[in-house]
Amino acid sequence: MSDVPPGVVIDTNVVLDWLVFADPSSQAFGHAVHEQRVRWLVCPMVMAEIGHVLARPLPERWEAARKQALTLDWASSTVRCPDPPPAPGAALVCTDLDDQKFIDLAIDQGARWLLTRDRALLALRGAAARLGVSIVMPLHWRGVAGAAAAPD
């Protein structure tokens, strides 16, 4: 049994839900990231997108949280990976090309989970599961105690 925590890829909107909007459905995996029970896998393409989105001002009620997210110690919170090659198989082509990087990264790095609310990524659940990646909404993420993610 490996001592390396399982990997998780988190799409940008879920990152915002967690770090900026404090969505209750995002807190379980947020704690797991902070406690290093999972490895939050990122690549330059993913970091660029997160940075671009976090740079946009938000309504005042979320500005403090957005600015705090910008100051996050990304190096200690994430595992940096190279940009991935395209995932194998036509079934893993995301209909939203902007989201392709998330599935490619998850497959390339052997992530256990890809956390998303995006319908285009959720549509790839079956094909991704055959490659060992559970695509799941944050609300249904069951953590690292060996429990599988529940279907939506």
For residue range 121-131, list pLDDT tens digits in order: 999 999 999 99
In this structure, are residues 46 and 101 in contact, taking their beta carbons and an 8 Å threshold?
A: yes
Looking at residues 24-36, what average pLDDT do you find?
Answer: 91
Looking at residues 34-47, what average pLDDT do you find?
Answer: 95
Calpha distance 139→152 (Å, rounded): 9
Q: Is the dihedral of CA 139, 149, 151, 94 positive or negative?
A: positive
SS3 134: strand
Give the angle 138-110-2 at the CA atoms, nearest 5°. 100
Calpha distance 40→73 (Å, rounded): 13
- Tokens 């198989």 belong to 89
Q: Which of 66, 28, 19, 47 is nearest to 105 (CA)?
A: 47
Instruction: For the domain made up of 7-140, give the CATH fold.
Output: Rossmann fold (3.40.50)
Which of 25-29, 45-49, 142-146 is the least confident region? Answer: 142-146
Q: What are the extents of the domains in the chain? A: 7-140
Looking at residues 53-68, what average pLDDT do you find?
Answer: 94
pLDDT of residue 148: 40
Residue of higher predicted confidence among 147 and 32: 32
- 55: exposed, middle or buried (Cβ count in 10 Å: 0-12, 13-18, 19+): exposed
pLDDT of residue 75: 84
Return the number of other C-beta atoms located less than 10 Å from residue 93's C-beta. Answer: 15
Which of 48-62, 116-130, 131-145 is the least confident region? Answer: 131-145
Q: Is the pLDDT of residue 70 over 60?
A: yes
Which of 3-17, 31-45, 67-81 is the least confident region? Answer: 67-81
